[in-house]
Amino acid sequence: MSSAPEFFFEDFPVGQVLDYGSYHVTAEEIVSFAREFDPQPFHIDEKAAKASMLGGLCASGWHVCAIVMRMMVDGYFGRTASMGSTGIDEMKWLKPVFAGDRLSCRRTTLAARVSAKRAEMGILKMQWELFDANSQKKAEMTGIKLIKVRGGA
């Protein structure tokens, strides 16, 4: 994290679209995350995963979310004057994320306003879409980000 943020509320205008990131998913990290948080057979056991309806070892949905967050931080959010988030409106796991997948993200600003109560805080409704190398959409989420207004206290 930089101590002098580069991006503020004004840098995320409504309708803006940004493509970013290139994340290689490994079997090791799928199993490691799942052992800690989501030890279902299709996340920790290659053989069981092949026999399941998912067809192969795939990342926990929460691991997918964490990867989206990591890509966001690396892509722009680590240089953004973040004030956190209140939540997610919708999270869709559309296709399994498999070991070996190469992922990229697309971010779109859906709505933007300055808080009525706190003039230094911008409230952004954002959409993130996660794609594999064949442009197949793997996941989609919309949520709220709180970001400082430029020059705000």
List residues near a second copy by CB under 8 A. Answer: 1, 33, 36-42, 53-54, 60-63, 65-67, 69-70, 73, 77-78, 82-93, 143
3-state class of 50 per DSSP?
Answer: helix
- Helix axis angle for 61-75 and 27-37, nearest 10°, is 120
Considering the complex, state which of residue 77 and residue 131 has its C-beta at the smaller distance from a second copy. Answer: 77
Considering the complex, state which of residue 15 and residue 28 has its C-beta at the smaller distance from a second copy. Answer: 28
Q: Which residues face 103 on adjacent strands?
A: 23
Q: How far is the CB of 118 from a second copy (least distance, A)?
A: 10
Considering the complex, state which of residue 4 and residue 15 has its C-beta at the smaller distance from a second copy. Answer: 4
Considering the complex, state which of residue 1 and residue 116 has its C-beta at the smaller distance from a second copy. Answer: 1
Those residues whose C-beta lies under 8 Å from the C-beta of residue 73, and which sit 6 or more positions away, are: none
Q: How far is the CB of 52 from a second copy (least distance, A)?
A: 8
Do 9 and 124 contact (CB within 8 A), yes or no? yes
Structure tokens of 131? 């794609």
Q: How far is the CB of 115 from a second copy (least distance, A)?
A: 12
Do 27 and 99 contact (CB within 8 A), yes or no? yes
Considering the complex, state which of residue 42 and residue 98 has its C-beta at the smaller distance from a second copy. Answer: 42
CB-based burial of residue 54 (10 Å sphere; 0-12 exposed, 13-18 middle, 19+ buried)? middle
